[in-house]
Amino acid sequence: MTPPPDQPPAPNTDTSGKQPYQSGLLSRIVAIHFPTRPVAPAEQGLLRISGGAVALDTGDMFAGMSTGATGKLIATKPFTVLTPGIVVYGQPQHGKPCFMACTDGTTILRGHQDVGGDMEGIVWDSVYGANGLCALSFAGGAFFVVYRPASSGPYDSSCAMSVDGENFSEIGNIYPGLPHLSVHDSLTPGSVAFNGKGYATAGMFFADPNYPNIIGIDDNNMAWGSSGDGSGWSASCTPSETASPGIQPDAIHLGSGSAFTTIAGGAGRFVAAATSRTTFQSTVPVPGTGGTQFTQYVYPTAAAAVSNDGNSWTTNKLPGAIEGNYIETGLGTHDTSDSRALSVAFVRTGADTGYFVISAVGSMTSSGAPGSAASWCWKGDGSSWQLIKQTGDASFGTVSAIARDLTSTKVVNI
């Protein structure tokens, strides 16, 4: 029974003032009701453009920002965090909901609320250091930091995983066993995603096994990895420079590292920001010899690479993107065009529903005329896409997801 206010507190009540509540408060609280965890707010896409980022549904503009994330911590009102770097939100399997962010290419910051401290804002603590950051993701109940130290070999990457949001464990290279295609092989790892059943990652694998017979390539082979539990991985890659999918994503450059958002998961599938390649064959004269040389030019078209398991991929061109093309116009001149997908995110509309957003840029060059460029952004399910934003320059970049109703959240920057 709770004692009257003028009586001493009940036995074993902390009256030292050291606990994160008013002294004796817990002994006087009765009939506490803990509501169920609320469903995350419906989201909209956030697109990085020249000078900042724009919310794709509401049109809100955030100067100087690149990515954002929305989530609930302790306070009743969710937070929307915006940053010129990379930020993600999630509830790890064995921890409390939190944000993770990186603004310098090395330091991973955990964003949480300090009970007994600042309940109006977010407290940021350094929890991990990644030399040569490549990606920061939340996927399937875990945070993933993917990086590539300067000392890495051509087939190496590093990854750290946290299932409590506070401690990270090294899980090694998530692209193991990539084939040795040429002396120029070089891996750039990408982000990690979860589709409800398993994990996948997508990155760039530069290789030129057919050089010098193939020239004029504007993208890389795509490398991918898959995992059932997030810790043990198998990997493969596009086998040649003429095969699809290719990849040439956008990066947020952050001091000593970069942040790629190459892959997203949701609704039972994975979508990677990719390219579909077209090969153009040509025979050109070799000056001074009277002979000719056979050459192939490979030009990409922006595409979405789609997979149900992270192992087998289907490449779908994005509607309206500039098609990869090469036309010889005589006297050693030619016209070219190409495009490439930059970034992809899954936008949640409910607990188990949502759609993907994907961005791309492209360009055209013509002999004797100024070149032109364009940018696009689509929404869709991975197979079918609707164009929702475009512009006549190459200003689009990374996509992420934030709350659709921003007034229902507290917006903060880091």
pLDDT at 400 over 90: yes
The number of distinct structural domains making up the chain is 2
Q: Return the structure tokens found at 354.
A: 């949502």
What pLDDT score does 268 carry? 96
* Residues 2 and 64 occupy one common structural domain: no
Cβ pair 80, 402 in contact under 8 A: yes
Q: Return the structure tokens found at 210.
A: 């057919």
* Residues 132 and 19 occupy one common structural domain: no
* Residues 54 and 144 occupy one common structural domain: yes
Q: Return the structure tokens found at 387.
A: 């164009």
Q: Which residue has the higher pLDDT, 198 or 39?
A: 198
What pLDDT score does 74 carry? 86
What pLDDT score does 368 carry? 66
Q: Which residue has the higher pLDDT, 239 or 57?
A: 57
**Closest-CA residue to 315 (of 272, 349, 357):** 272
Sign of the alpha-carbon torsion through 279, 285, 288, 291:
positive
* Residues 1 and 112 occupy one common structural domain: no
pLDDT at 199 over 80: yes
- Residue 209's pLDDT band, with cuts at 50, 70 and 90, is low
What pLDDT score does 257 carry? 94
What pLDDT score does 68 carry? 98
* Residues 52 and 30 occupy one common structural domain: no
Q: Residue 8 sits in which domain range? A: 1-34
* Residues 188 and 71 occupy one common structural domain: yes
In terms of average pLDDT, the best of 29-33, 39-43, 384-388 is: 384-388
* Residues 7 and 98 occupy one common structural domain: no
* Residues 15 and 67 occupy one common structural domain: no
- Residue 40's pLDDT band, with cuts at 50, 70 and 90, is confident
pLDDT at 21 over 50: no
What pLDDT score does 36 carry? 41
What pLDDT score does 28 carry? 34
* Residues 84 and 112 occupy one common structural domain: yes
d(CA 272, CA 201): 9
What pLDDT score does 34 carry? 33
**Closest-CA residue to 265 (of 96, 176, 87, 142):** 142
pLDDT at 241 over 90: no
pLDDT at 60 over 90: yes
In terms of average pLDDT, the best of 5-14, 280-289, 339-348 is: 339-348
- Residue 181's pLDDT band, with cuts at 50, 70 and 90, is confident
Q: What is the mean pLDDT of the chain?
A: 88
Q: Which residue has the higher pLDDT, 282 or 134?
A: 134
d(CA 92, CA 62): 28
What pLDDT score does 23 carry? 34
- Residue 212's pLDDT band, with cuts at 50, 70 and 90, is low
Mean pLDDT of 305-319: 98
pLDDT at 215 over 90: no
What pLDDT score does 346 carry? 98
* Residues 374 and 260 occupy one common structural domain: yes
What pLDDT score does 334 carry? 82
* Residues 50 and 145 occupy one common structural domain: yes
Tell me the per-residue pLDDT of 277-298, one tens digit each, with 9 for 90 and over.
999 988 777 778 888 777 888 9
Tell me the per-residue pLDDT of 66-97, one tens digit each, with 9 for 90 and over.
999 999 998 778 999 999 999 999 999 999 99
**Closest-CA residue to 304 (of 403, 400, 225, 376):** 376
**Closest-CA residue to 196 (of 173, 228, 165, 223):** 228
What pLDDT score does 213 carry? 67
pLDDT at 259 over 50: yes
* Residues 279 and 331 occupy one common structural domain: yes
- 231 — alpha (psi -120 to 50), left (phi > 0) or beta? alpha
Mean pLDDT of 250-279: 96
What pLDDT score does 211 carry? 63
CA distances to 33, 262, 303 from 361, rounded to whole Å, are 51, 15, 11
Cβ pair 405, 379 in contact under 8 A: no
